[in-house]
Structure 1
Amino acid sequence: MKINKFLNIKSLAILALSLVVLVACNDDDDFGTDTDKIVAKIFDFSGPTLVSLGDVEQFSVTPRAGSTFVWEVTGAEMEAIEGATHKINVNYNQIGVATISVYEVAANGSTSEVSSQNVDVLSLCSWSVEMNDTWGDSWNGAELQITFDGAVDLAPVVMALTDDDAGYKLESFSAPVGYDMTVTFVSGDYDEEISYSIFDASDNTVYSVGDFTYSIIPPAGVVYTTTVVCP
Structure 2
Amino acid sequence: IEYGPSGFSPGTGTTVMVTGTSFTIEGLDENTMYDVYIQADCGGGDLSALIGPYEFMTGFINPPTVCTYTLLLEDSFGDGWNGASLDVTINGITTNYTFFTGNQASFSFDVLDGLPLVLEYFSGVFENEVTYTLFNSDGNPIFSDGPFPQTGVVYDELAVCPDCPAPSASSITATFIGVDSAVIDWDPLPSAEQYQLEWAPAGFPLGFGLTSIVDGPPASLSGLNPCVNYDVYVYAICGEDSLSAPAGPLTFQTQPESVGDPCTYTIEMFDSFGDGWNNANITVTINGVSTVYTFTTGFEATFNLNVFANLPMIFTYNPGVFENEVSFNIIDPDGNVIYSDGPFPQTGQILSIVACPTCSGPLSFDVTDVNATSASFVWSAATDPGSYTLEYGPLGFTLGTGTVLNPTGTSATITGLSEGSYYDVYLSFLCDDGEKAKTLGPITIHTIWLNDVGVSGLISPTLADCNLGSEETISIQLENFGQNPQSLVPFFYAVNGVPAN
TM-score over 0.5 for the pair: no
RCO greater where, 1 or 2, for CA within 8 Å and sep 6 or more?
Answer: 1
The structure whose residues are more often helix, as a share, is: 1
Structure 1 length-normalised TM: 0.42
